[in-house]
Structure 1
């Protein structure tokens, strides 16, 4: 999703957000902030490249059907970048860690590593940019054009104590019926690198035949290479041009593991390398940390007797647990957003409760949103005075799309309310 300098990128992002939300949600839904247990994890690789490429965040639908654009949309993911009114990042001075790799170098290197074919350049950045180096191209091997995007970054500094598996994108729960995936596997390579290989579809509901394959690789020294490809000239908005993306999944892994990208990572200036989660004010690993923390808070706050049988989390904003209290499986999910004060009026109507500390609370009990037979969804939606929004929902099924396994969710409205209002969330409220 390159930034087109001929027109306002914010208008493009807002238009794309409206288009995506309109195609994914029904206006009469009391939908939560995220699109469900699969959406965030399924598109994590693509979104990482999109965020680093200057694209805005995804459109969000709030309770009551209000369309929201995150207040942080377009904000930078690195401490050395400041958002401007135009949405174009402004860099502070950065000291190269090695010889500068230009945007042209990135495209040339990617072209050299691809099989024989025609390469058309798209968005590209080098290590002289305030954002991680990127190369996006259209590649045609004579069997149809496919879009391909490659991003190089640094995660925690690496070293003996660093485990690449802690940073690589994990496979989602393949048992979920709407995962939109054909396969997902995580492998450890001979050099200690860990890679997750995903074959699936751009849209989890497969409303289009656009396939999205990806490789996310993290090395022992902290280099991350994320590659995504599609069987169309663009990930969205273009017709399918070939049955599958141009590179096989093995070729995609080989491309991600190429030594050339490690040399690129060594040239990323120290000032804009992704900081440690323990670094104050960091936004790099802190995103992964936040997702794990959400899951930890959720599981710890569950009532006695609710045994967790499976769980998962997105890098940010989302976690879920499938619990069983002896009466059948019940899916429980939490969505968390920051800085949502401006949207409070649209989210909390006259029926909402306002607590003495300014926290707003709304509840809803109704049918599930994704068509599982007999599924009901109970929701408690809260917003602190500082704008942090915590939404928790429970279902009377092991997932939103499978038939009910019990008459009611395993958690009552009172228990959901207690979890949503837990002071533990304040840890993530900054």
Structure 2
């Protein structure tokens, strides 16, 4: 083992979490291994222990397992660049306890995350060995020694639709013949899922936002929008997928005078960065527009 370094705890704002990193060497080659610990604020944030969203990490292999005592274990076999499956592999084990103690171990098949060439076929520890390491009892006194993270002040309700509200509303608008799978998203304001009409899957996303009325930034986005009878300003777009791979992205985007914005997008691939699964997305632009303008969202 060489090049060991670390960062201790600091009460300064935006300081990095306590961690230690080293370069591990064996017959297969060098590998960076990092361990990081932190105490999360309570109650635990909804996204404190989740697998990466498949829509943006299509090549990851991830599992989440609930353990006794309310702990959760996430094992993720992914990549430093989530859209480059031929790039540097990044495997992580993350343990989050019910008390908010979180331990992360991350390993690469290269000596640094900035490397462009792998130094070994895979990271040195198997998922089973990562699990054993992150569950080791020697982390407990380290975590106990860390100061408790202050609970952030309660944020006023944004009025954004919850994940369940978005999904239940969206299902009433999709054709009954569509198959829905890979449902993911945030607690509020965003959902992505895969829809399939029998001719190939496509990614569909719904984003719900609340802007300040007359906000200049969002007004600039909608300056060329068409005024609708219900007071909304509508934009439609047909553009290449922002992550390339030959896919296309269709969008219907509407903004109301009270600052409420709803954006529905779809791809002709099942995730960002993947090649097309069909010539066009499953829903027509007219159908997207009908969805985004539906009064059920209000």
1:218 to 91, 96, 115: 96
The count of residues paired between Structure 1 and Structure 2 equals 288
Task: Tell me how far apart the structure 1 counterparts of residues 77 and 8 of structure 2 sit (CA, whole Å).
Answer: 25
- Tell me the C-alpha RMSD between the 2 structures: 4.5
Matching residue of 1:170: 51
Deviations 1:331-359 (A, max 9, x none): 32224556594433553353x22457874
Report the CA distance shift for 1:333/1:184 in structure 2 as closer, same or farther (over 3 A).
same
Report the CA distance shift for 1:167/1:135 in structure 2 as closer, same or farther (over 3 A).
closer
Mind listing any 5+ residue stretches in structure 2 that lack a counterpart?
A: none
Task: Tell me how far apart the structure 2 counterparts of residues 354 and 346 of structure 1 sit (CA, whole Å).
Answer: 15
Task: Tell me how far apart the structure 1 counterparts of residues 156 and 139 of structure 2 sit (CA, whole Å).
Answer: 24
Task: Tell me how far apart the structure 1 counterparts of residues 259 and 142 of structure 2 sit (CA, whole Å).
Answer: 39
**Is 1:313 aligned to residue 192 of structure 2?**
no
For the 8 Å contact 1:367–1:376, the answer to whether it is kept is yes
Deviation at 1:213, TM superposition (A): 1.5
Matching residue of 1:420: 292
3-state SS in 2 of match to 1:416:
helix
Task: Tell me how far apart the structure 1 counterparts of residues 90 and 162 of structure 2 sit (CA, whole Å).
Answer: 24
> What pairs with 1:17-416 in structure 2 (closer than 5 Å)?
117-121=2-6, 123-126=7-10, 128=11, 134-142=17-25, 144=30, 146=32, 148=34, 150-154=36-40, 156-157=42-43, 168-170=49-51, 173=54, 179-181=58-60, 183-189=61-67, 193-206=71-84, 209-236=87-114, 238-240=115-117, 242-243=119-120, 244-245=122-123, 247-259=125-137, 261-263=139-141, 272-273=150-151, 280-281=154-155, 292-293=163-164, 296=167, 299-315=170-186, 318-325=190-197, 329-336=201-208, 339=211, 341-344=215-218, 346-350=220-224, 352-355=225-228, 359-365=232-238, 370-371=244-245, 377-385=249-257, 389-396=261-268, 398=270, 401-405=274-278, 409-416=281-288
Report the CA distance shift for 1:320/1:267 in structure 2 as closer, same or farther (over 3 A).
same
Deviation at 1:410, TM superposition (A): 4.0
For the 8 Å contact 1:133–1:151, the answer to whether it is kept is no
Task: Tell me how far apart the structure 1 counterparts of residues 90 and 248 of structure 2 sit (CA, whole Å).
Answer: 32
Mind listing any 5+ residue stretches in structure 1 that lack a counterpart?
A: 1-115, 159-163
Task: Tell me how far apart the structure 1 counterparts of residues 15 and 194 of structure 2 sit (CA, whole Å).
Answer: 36
Matching residue of 1:67: none
3-state SS in 1 of match to 2:32:
strand
Deviation at 1:309, TM superposition (A): 2.7
Task: Tell me how far apart the structure 1 counterparts of residues 13 and 296 of structure 2 sit (CA, whole Å).
Answer: 34
For the 8 Å contact 1:337–1:389, the answer to whether it is kept is yes
Deviation at 1:327, TM superposition (A): 6.0
Matching residue of 1:47: none
For the 8 Å contact 1:118–1:139, the answer to whether it is kept is yes
For the 8 Å contact 2:203–2:268, the answer to whether it is kept is yes
Tell me which protein shows more helix as a share of its residues. Answer: 1
Task: Tell me how far apart the structure 1 counterparts of residues 140 and 90 of structure 2 sit (CA, whole Å).
Answer: 24
Task: Tell me how far apart the structure 1 counterparts of residues 124 and 34 of structure 2 sit (CA, whole Å).
Answer: 9
Task: Tell me how far apart the structure 2 counterparts of residues 367 and 209 of structure 1 sit (CA, whole Å).
Answer: 23
3-state SS in 1 of match to 2:51:
coil
**TM-score, length-scaled by structure 1:** 0.52
3-state SS in 2 of match to 1:125:
coil
Task: Tell me how far apart the structure 1 counterparts of residues 236 and 230 of structure 2 sit (CA, whole Å).
Answer: 18
For the 8 Å contact 1:171–1:186, the answer to whether it is kept is no
Task: Tell me how far apart the structure 1 counterparts of residues 90 and 250 of structure 2 sit (CA, whole Å).
Answer: 33
3-state SS in 2 of match to 1:343:
helix
Report the CA distance shift for 1:268/1:312 in structure 2 as closer, same or farther (over 3 A).
farther
